[in-house]
Amino acid sequence: MEFEPVIGMEAHAELATKTKVFCGCSTAFGAAPNTQVCPVCLGLPGALPVLNKTAFEYVIRTAIALNCTITEKTVFDRKNYYYPDLPKNYQISQNYACIGYNGWIEINVNGEKKQVGMDNVHLEEDAGKNLHPETGGAESLVDLNRAGIALMEIVSRPDMHSADDALAYMETLKNLLQYLEVSDCKMQEGRLRFEVNISMRRKGEQKLGARAEIKNLNSMRTALKCIEYEIKRQTDILSNGGKLNQETRLWDEASSCTRAMRSKEQAQDYRYFPDPDLVEVHIMPEWQEKIRRQIPELKDAKLARFIAEYGLPEYDADILTSSKPLATYFEQCQKFHNNPKSISNWIMTELLRELKSREMESDDCPVTPRHLACMIKMIDEKTISGKIGKQVFSEMLSTGKMPDVIVTESGMSQILDEKEISAIVEKIISENQDTVESIRAGRDKAMAFLVGQIMRATRGKANPQLVNQILKDKISIK
């Protein structure tokens, strides 16, 4: 019997607004606990929410980009449940009239294009964080800095059937949200989070099986591991004639498995009802149109522009636009120093390799566009060679120093003085008379050996073109 997985995903993205969704508190990450709070996000008696218009518009923008039908009259609803990170013991969310419905997104799975349907896109408030001291003890602490940050929830249809589908979906969605400039999607800071719904059915059947909802997935890699684990777990149970129940499960990172959290019967009744503290928001066609016009340049348009404006090969442009932060990185470099192809080469090789090995986003890299552009400029002006450039790059990465500072401090500047090079060339010729003779006899390949000797003697700083020229003159060939 062959089974196929049916996968749907819920994505939560914290919106990139300066202030929270229902009050004026800052959303900056990393502040001391409970310093970005006010009566509203603390849920104090009598405090009332006021909607952040930018957050609302960001969700409309996303819903448009996800090809959703936009709801004309939206309302906010209260989702009632008790938890200490939720100060009011209800979350302001949307249930009965979400901002967007019935959309779709195209994903590319190993070269094959597929569509994933969108059930809905809506706006809600984030909860705070419970902190359980590692020293143990009965008391837990609550940090409410995150409570009330605008959170967009994007609920897909169960249209994915493999871990690869799910990965392509997560990457495409993250990419789109970054391109839309609605969220920075930093998963390591919890600004983008995924939950997976997964069930198995016999291949060819339409009916859905009992699904497991899996929470606590803090990276795409974890989500993938979890999907693979669940596919195996559920397949094993079904293959052995077992029965699955609808339940919520929790990913346990330490043991790389999922654990049952609660069954359908134990599922909470959230008692959604319209929040009487907020008013209906009517999304008129003119407003929608205004937001549609505000959608920034998306990937396809940017790719075409990179080819036309910078004369980049399609291959380069495709890689540079593979994420919005990377494309921005490229264009910022270009502003500091105009050499698109060289910048592209450095980004595609050195930068991407380092980012990947450090699991870092380009906008968090200590080598900023200014660093990289300045270094390429030094190469173009022949202050350093390309080879030295690689040393400078790794130095910039570890110290964050500017390239000119690194070059000056460690004396890496290129030797362009013909007299100085001539002296070294003469010295190498005199030490390698046999080789010189063989070159004169026609063994051109031995030239490379001499060039290598000269470069070593100058610790790679001699300008290679000058070295070649002077060497040829000295041994009088051609």
Partner 1 sequence: MDIHTLTLAEAGKQLKQKKITSRQLTQAVLQRLKSVEPQIQAFLSIAEKTAFTQADEADRRIAEGGDISPLTGIPIAIKDNICTADAATTCASRILENFHPPYDATVIAKLRRAGVVFIGKTNMDEFAMGSSTENSGYKITRNPWDRERIPGGSSGGSAAAVAADAAIAALGSDTGGSVRAPASYCGVVGLKPTYGRVSRYGLVAYGSSLDQIGPLTKDVKDSAIMLNALAGHDPQDSTSANVPVPDYTSACGKDIKGLRIGIPKEYFAEGIDPEVEQLVKNAIRQMESLGALPIEISLPHTEYAIPCYYICAMAEASSNLARYGGAHYGYRAKNAGNILEMYSKTRAEGFGTEVKRRIMLGTYVLSAGYYDAWYLKAIKARTLIKRDFELAWEKTDIIAAPVVPAPAFKIGEKSADPLTMYLSDIYTISLNLAGMCGISIPCGFSKKGLPVGLQLIANIFKEETLFTAAYAYEQSAGFFNRKPPL
Residues lying near partner 1 in the complex (CB under 8 A): 39, 42-51, 78, 80, 82, 84, 87-90, 142, 269, 271-273, 276-279
Report, in Å, the least distance between residue 86 CB and partner 1. Answer: 9
* E strand spans, 75-191: 77-80, 90-93, 100-109, 112-125, 129-131, 141-143, 150-156
Report, in Å, the least distance between residue 50 CB and partner 1. Answer: 5
Number of Cβ within 10 Å of residue 364's Cβ equals 11
Nearer to partner 1, 147 or 373 (CB): 147
Q: What burial class does residue 216 get, using C-beta atoms within 10 Å of its C-beta: 0-12 exposed, 13-18 middle, 19+ buried? A: middle
Nearer to partner 1, 69 or 89 (CB): 89
d(CA 434, CA 355) in angstroms, rounded, equals 47
Tell me, what amino acid is at 349?
A: T
170, 220 Cβ separation under 8 angstroms: yes
Residue 470 contacts by C-beta under 8 Å, 6 or more apart in sequence?
418, 421, 422, 425
Note the helical H segments in 138-197: 163-179
229, 196 Cβ separation under 8 angstroms: no
Nearer to partner 1, 129 or 305 (CB): 129
Nearer to partner 1, 3 or 272 (CB): 272
Report, in Å, the least distance between residue 206 CB and partner 1. Answer: 27
Report, in Å, the least distance between residue 77 CB and partner 1. Answer: 10
Q: Is the dihedral of CA 451, 455, 456, 460 positive or negative?
A: negative
Closest by CA position to 13, among listed 179, 166, 160: 179
Closest by CA position to 60, among listed 28, 94, 96, 99: 99
Nearer to partner 1, 38 or 304 (CB): 38
Nearer to partner 1, 78 or 371 (CB): 78
Nearer to partner 1, 51 or 307 (CB): 51
Nearer to partner 1, 77 or 395 (CB): 77
Nearer to partner 1, 92 or 375 (CB): 92
Report, in Å, the least distance between residue 75 CB and partner 1. Answer: 12
Report, in Å, the least distance between residue 42 CB and partner 1. Answer: 7
Q: Which residues pair with 42 in a beta bridge?
A: none
Report, in Å, the least distance between residue 220 CB and partner 1. Answer: 32
The DSSP call for residue 296 is P
Nearer to partner 1, 87 or 100 (CB): 87
Nearer to partner 1, 87 or 325 (CB): 87
210, 234 Cβ separation under 8 angstroms: no
d(CA 4, CA 158) in angstroms, rounded, equals 12
Residue 193 contacts by C-beta under 8 Å, 6 or more apart in sequence?
11, 12, 13, 187, 217, 218
186, 12 Cβ separation under 8 angstroms: no
Report, in Å, the least distance between residue 40 CB and partner 1. Answer: 8
Nearer to partner 1, 16 or 123 (CB): 123
Residue 6 contacts by C-beta under 8 Å, 6 or more apart in sequence?
158, 160, 161, 198, 199, 200, 201, 208, 209, 211
Report, in Å, the least distance between residue 274 CB and partner 1. Answer: 9
Tell me, what amino acid is at 327?
A: A
Angstrom distances, CA of residue 46 to CA of 88, 144, 226, 367? 11, 18, 43, 49
Residue 239 contacts by C-beta under 8 Å, 6 or more apart in sequence?
1, 3
Nearer to partner 1, 86 or 198 (CB): 86
Number of Cβ within 10 Å of residue 225's Cβ equals 18
Report, in Å, the least distance between residue 365 CB and partner 1. Answer: 40
Report, in Å, the least distance between residue 127 CB and partner 1. Answer: 12
Report, in Å, the least distance between residue 142 CB and partner 1. Answer: 7
Report, in Å, the least distance between residue 102 CB and partner 1. Answer: 24
